[in-house]
């Protein structure tokens, strides 16, 4: 089988395959396998009849009500706390 792609993309694929020490064919096969695995693991969008939908909607509503009452925290503080808690550098 022959697949034609733009020369710039072909050069990028060849460079990446070479960097990983594999053939272009092997590199492409790895990409396809990873894409298929990701597709199997990823969840699709929620629909109104999904059990989690009502729970998420209630949590969002509660958060909006808290924000209306001025109970929220500035985003930069929240993100700083999360980074510190999980050891994530800025």
DSSP string, 2-61: -----HHHHHHHHHHHHHHTS-HHHHHHHHHHHHHHHHHHS-----TTSHHHHHHHHHHH
pLDDT higher than threshold 80 for residue 9: yes
How many percent of the chain have pLDDT more than 70?
Answer: 100
Separation CA 19–CA 26 (nearest Å): 12
Quick check: pTM over 0.85?
A: no
Q: What is the pLDDT of residues 21-65, one digit of tens each?
A: 999 999 999 999 999 888 877 777 778 888 888 899 999 999 999
| H helix count then E strand count, the chain | 4, 0
């Amino acid at each position: 089988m022959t697949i034609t792609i733009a020369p710039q993309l072909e050069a990028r694929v060849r460079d990446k395959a070479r960097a990983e020490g594999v053939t272009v064919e092997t590199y492409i096969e790895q990409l396809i396998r990873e894409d298929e695995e990701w597709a199997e693991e990823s969840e699709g969008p929620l629909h109104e009849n999904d059990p989690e939908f009502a729970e998420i909607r209630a949590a969002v509503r509660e958060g909006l009500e808290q924000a209306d009452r001025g109970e929220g925290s500035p985003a930069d503080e929240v993100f700083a706390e999360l980074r510190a808690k999980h050891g994530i550098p800025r």
